[in-house]
């Protein structure tokens, strides 16, 4: 089995971290009630249940999972009921039994997929709400219920949502702007560098009032994105309102767009690299940003701040390669699950960039998954100090599987462990320097100095199922979600105070050596 890695934004719902090419060839969905539709939906259900049985981190009973999915249909029509009695499954509508079915074997995903299809069709024959729901709504409802019965990170993406997710991960044909909708049309929030929009002269603050001659007044964000995207090298004519410049007609030639995740600035001789997510281009963009910053800055840098605050994750393989940018050797992350191929070790393999400079990684309560891997890898290898608050604690790895309807089922596949061995699930990364609840940078640095003379249990293993122990551990540096400038002040001062920086690094290395 060939694997590559994925992770999607926690802001979008449940996080996704590992993509496995266990895809099944797509087939077209028919209309509800046809033989073709029944064959297709039975296959969709069977493939999804088989995926759960094969790769989910825990061994589950397929009959329980399948029935949980069908029971999700009560969201569409609360007057239906499904009940298992021994070896039979009974359906009822408005309190009256409408059918009884023999249950397949407990480990027969194909049989339960076919039964699920039969239950849906028979319920639709008595429930107008189900009959009018449409196949995609039914898939979404059933697989949402299946995922909810597993854990908070497993999830289902409908065909349209999966298409949008793939575009965000892999890139798309577009113009290169971040937008918001306003009553007049589409407001340009920012223009990505080196994109068609920048080359055409679009600016932040522009209001797009028409797209290809069609008014954008009252448009919603989904349709705005749909109309701005299109085939590579195709043209889109934007009618733009720009303050005193009045109305402008700007033609933009669409190009391949990968959302930008990296920005940089220099503060007090310290290079600040901000990473907002991990997509296919992040490692290249981060390396390019470091080179660009050195080229455009005359004075040498005193150090580097890698700002991962608010970073919800992204592509896991990119978190590995980003870590590898700063490490010459050492383990980056390990993963462990039920499936034999979930046991993997990732090590640094390349020469690092900015190798001579001290590094401080900033994290907060929204730093999750792939960003936690980077923070823990640099911290445990003695390459960086971590400042901020304890991170989110999203320490599980998901596998993404495409279903025959082109939807995507995301299942928890493994848990990842920091190089020093502790699992991050529920626990998160504990900073060397805590900024939770402090009023001034000097206060955080003073606490760090005092801490350096005491025993630190930063690497302590905490059972991810022991909520009380997790809460107690995380209370040492309570999760912050805001992004205060004070965090940056602390990071810069840590870099400037070489003695304290070295003291804290040496303390970590001594801790790991014991």
- Interval 478-508: pLDDT, tens: 999 889 999 999 999 999 999 999 999 998 8
Among candidate residues 380, 391, 425, 479, the one labeled active-site is 380
Residue 19 confidence (pLDDT): 28
CB atoms within 10 A of CB 74: 14
Rounded-to-10 torsion of CA 41, 42, 43, 44: 50
Residue 301 CB partners (closer than 8 Å, separation 6+):
266, 269, 270, 271, 293, 294, 354, 357
pLDDT, mean of residues 231-247: 92
Residue 285 confidence (pLDDT): 93
Residue 394 annotated in active site: yes
Q: Which of 117-126, 202-211, 256-265, 316-325 has the lowest mean pLDDT?
A: 256-265
pLDDT at 278 over 50: yes
Among candidate residues 389, 394, 425, 487, the one labeled active-site is 394
* Residue 306, φ and ψ in degrees, nearest 5: -100, 105
Measured CA distances, 178 to 23, 203, 206, 247, 485 (Å) = 32, 11, 11, 20, 24
Global confidence as pTM:
0.78
Among candidate residues 149, 369, 371, 425, the one labeled active-site is 369
Residue 382, Ramachandran bin (φ over 0: left; ψ between -120 and 50: alpha; else beta): left
Most confident among 5-14, 394-403, 429-438, 452-461 (mean pLDDT): 429-438
Query: Both ends of the chain: CA-CA distance in Å?
Result: 38
Residue 369 annotated in active site: yes
The pair of structure tokens assigned to 301 is: 């840098």
Residue 32 confidence (pLDDT): 42
pLDDT at 386 over 80: yes
pLDDT, mean of residues 42-58: 94
* Residue 401, φ and ψ in degrees, nearest 5: -125, 130
Q: What is the mean pLDDT of the chain?
A: 87
| DSSP-based three-state secondary structure for 168 | helix
Residue 11 confidence (pLDDT): 28
Task: Using alpha carbons, select from 405, 402, 401, 403 the residue that is nearest to residue 32.
Answer: 405
Residue 380 annotated in active site: yes
Length of the chain: 514
């Amino acid at each position: 089995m060939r694997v590559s890695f994925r992770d999607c934004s926690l802001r979008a719902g449940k996080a996704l971290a590992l993509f496995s090419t266990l895809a099944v060839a797509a087939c077209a969905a028919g209309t509800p009630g046809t033989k073709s539709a029944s064959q297709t939906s039975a296959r969709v259900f069977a493939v999804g249940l088989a995926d759960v049985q094969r790769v989910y981190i825990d061994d589950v009973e397929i009959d329980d999972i399948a029935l949980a999915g069908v029971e999700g249909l009560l969201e569409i029509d609360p007057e239906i009921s499904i009940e298992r009695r021994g070896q039979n499954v009974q359906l009822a509508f408005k309190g009256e039994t409408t059918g009884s079915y023999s249950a397949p074997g407990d480990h027969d995903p194909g049989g339960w997929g076919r039964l699920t299809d039969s239950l849906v069709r028979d319920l639709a024959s008595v429930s107008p709400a189900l009959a009018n729901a449409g196949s995609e709504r039914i898939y979404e409802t059933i697989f949402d219920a299946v995922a909810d019965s597993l854990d908070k990170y497993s999830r289902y993406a409908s065909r349209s949502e999966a298409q949008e997710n793939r575009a965000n991960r892999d890139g798309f044909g577009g113009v290169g702007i971040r937008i918001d909708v306003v009553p007049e049309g589409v407001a340009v929030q920012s223009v990505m560098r080196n994109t068609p929009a920048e080359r055409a002269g679009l600016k932040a603050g522009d209001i797009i009032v028409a797209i290809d001659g069609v008014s954008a007044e009252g448009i919603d964000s989904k349709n705005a994105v749909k109309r701005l995207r299109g085939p590579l090298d195709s043209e889109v004519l934007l009618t733009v309102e720009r303050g005193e410049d009045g109305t402008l007609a700007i033609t933009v030639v669409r190009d391949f767009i990968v959302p930008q995740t990296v920005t940089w600035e220099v503060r007090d001789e310290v290079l600040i690299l901000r990473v907002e997510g991990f997509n296919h281009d992040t490692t290249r963009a981060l390396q390019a940003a470091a080179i660009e910053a050195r080229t455009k800055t005359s004075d040498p840098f005193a150090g580097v701040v890698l700002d991962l605050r608010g970073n919800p994750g992204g592509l896991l393989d990119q978190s590995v390669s980003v870590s590898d940018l700063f490490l010459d050797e050492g383990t980056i992350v390990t993963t462990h699950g039920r499936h034999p191929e979930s046991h993997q070790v990732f090590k640094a393999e390349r020469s690092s960039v900015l190798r001579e400079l001290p590094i401080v990684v900033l994290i907060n309560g929204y730093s999750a998954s792939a960003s936690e891997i980077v923070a823990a890898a640099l911290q445990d290898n003695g390459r960086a100090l971590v400042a901020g608050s304890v991170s989110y604690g999203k320490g599980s790895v998901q596998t993404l599987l495409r279903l025959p309807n082109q939807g995507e089922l995301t299942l928890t596949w493994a848990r990842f462990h920091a190089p020093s061995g502790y699992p991050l699930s529920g626990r998160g990364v504990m900073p060397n320097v805590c900024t939770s609840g402090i009023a001034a940078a000097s206060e955080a640095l003073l606490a760090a100095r005092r801490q350096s003379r005491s025993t630190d249990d930063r690497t302590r293993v905490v059972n991810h199922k022991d909520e009380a122990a997790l809460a107690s551990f995380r209370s040492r540096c309570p999760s912050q979600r805001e992004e205060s400038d004070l965090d940056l002040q602390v990071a810069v001062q840590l870099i400037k105070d070489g003695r304290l920086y070295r003291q804290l690094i040496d303390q970590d290395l001594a801790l790991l050596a014991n």
